[in-house]
Copies of this chain bind each other. A is one copy, B any other.
């Protein structure tokens, strides 16, 4: 199957954009209420070979949405409610573009769904943690991914015009699942009765009017003539109830400084070095180059230059780049350089000023970047050497990894003092995983008292043997074994099947409870990935391939 090429000769998928460059979304702010209007430019698809008709989307559309959400959080702290709507007549959104899906590689389909899932989660996260309430106005067709987008909102208004419906036609039309959280949000968020859900998800034309309300699929239906009034009213009501601190000036998310140099990517405090032969990338995080502020007065002035914000944005971009452009890079190696105490001082500042709106947003961003790492289908390892600064927030990266290696003492011929790691208050609640536990709680499911023991050592610089004793690192090794052990690990990892690693890591990383969010990445996504491999969906005679050809799909009717 011929895979699509990126449009306009682009060499890679770029996750950086800004409102002035949006092709598909319009972000407008009117006091406490912002409007995010979807107006897809059908000729501006990310790849060649399809048009984005009927407000259907591809990854490019979603990259803009993710960007707009971040800007609402950082640049517009006065906004308290967001109207999510369409700028086109009688169509809200037709969902993920089918021709794009039909021509996409398996890996792209899976990563596309992962990113769109993260963006839907970001909507809910902004609502829960930033007081940004989302009202979705469905003025016409809301099919598949279109309805899934609506499902991420707090309140869904559907026009009652006798024809407009919400639908999840993926199964009847395409032989795949509504894979952007649709099934899980229907059962776990909207809590639709399971037999109603069965009918809904197998009815191509969807459900409209009173039944859509009775079945809990939307919150209200409103005649066309009253749609705008109702939308504005709901948004204002919700803005009125928001806990967001009204605050004038936001912080401009200035363009990232990023340079691609062959197999290296250099940001201001993140470097990525790709080793193609070793199928790995080393991501080095740089600690702060100046001391933490002593008060919040200078914060907005620092803006996007403020080290924790800058680092989070750069790290997020690096992860997204590797995930979506570098499929053969199977292992991510995290390293760091910098001063442990300085990092701890920043964490103290982030902890002490948690109620400051900008600090809150930065902490939420870190939480989400770390969650993004959790669901990245690459082997993750931290290598902790002299000169590193895995403290507090950065120690969370260690805990997010599948394993970690820490050097005991010094390296021969290097006079840097032994490596230390440290925990801060932020390791004990600021950054929950998708299972709603902290990474330390997840780590110590079997020995929960160890969380308390670790907390008592918070703020202390821990050398390798102490860190090992506390259970914070996988292996503490001295210089004699160091190079060999890491080499063996890397060789081992590249000898394994990438698929099996992906499946194993997705299981071992998420012990314990599940939440709606974790179910989306587990139960729903894993089933969808299976279906994305099945000939009934993706084969030459499968439904995705035959869609729009006038030929019906031919199914192997055997149940598995």
User: Which positions in A face B, CB cutoff 8 Å?
Assistant: 106-107, 110-111, 170-172, 175-177, 183-184, 186-188, 190-199, 201-202, 216, 279, 327-330, 377-378, 401-404, 442-447, 471, 474, 492-514, 519, 522-524, 526-531, 533-534, 536-537, 542-543, 553, 555-560
Q: Are A523 and B497 in contact (CB under 8 A)?
A: no
C-alpha gap A170/B198 in the complex (Å): 36
Nearest residue in B to A555 (C-beta to C-beta)?
B497
Q: Is the CB of B193 within 8 A of A500?
A: no
Residues of B within 8 A of A193 (CB): 443-444, 446, 471
CB of A175, distance to nearest CB on chain B (Å): 4
The minimal Cβ–Cβ distance linking A85 to chain B, given in whole angstroms, is 26
In the bound complex, do residue B403 and residue A504 qualify as a contact, i.e. CB atoms below 8 Å apart? no
Instruction: Pick the residue among B176, B191, B401, B556 that contacts A500 (CB under 8 A).
Output: B176
- Per assembly, the copies of the chain total 2
Task: Report the separation of the CA atoms of residues A542 and B499 in the bound assembly, to the nearest whole angstrom.
Answer: 11
- Determine whether the beta carbon of B202 is less than 8 Å from that of A559: no
Nearest chain B CB to A520 CB, angstrom units: 10
Given contacts A519-B514, A522-B522, A536-B497, contact A504 B187 (CB under 8 A): no
Contacting residues, chain B, for A328 (C-beta < 8 A): 557-559
Give the CA-CA distance A193 to B177 in the complex, in Å.
Answer: 33
Chain B residue at smallest Cβ distance from A528? B503
Residues of B within 8 A of A495 (CB): 172
- A331, closest chain B residue (CB): B559
What are 19 A-B residue pairs whose CB atoms fall within 8 Å in the complex? A170-B500, A171-B504, A172-B495, A176-B500, A187-B445, A188-B445, A194-B443, A194-B511, A198-B474, A327-B560, A328-B559, A497-B534, A499-B537, A502-B527, A502-B559, A522-B522, A523-B523, A529-B560, A533-B533
What residue of chain B has the Cβ atom nearest to residue A184's Cβ? B507
Identify which of B474, B519, B560 contacts A498 (C-beta below 8 A).
Answer: B560
Nearest 5 CB-CB pairings of A with B: A191-B446, A187-B511, A526-B526, A175-B497, A503-B527
Question: Does the CB pair B504–A177 fall under 8 Å?
Answer: yes
Could you say which residues of chain B place their CB within 8 Å of the CB of A188? 445, 511-512
Find out whether the CB atom of B175 lies under 8 angstroms from the CB atom of A499. yes
Closest B residue by C-beta to A330: B559
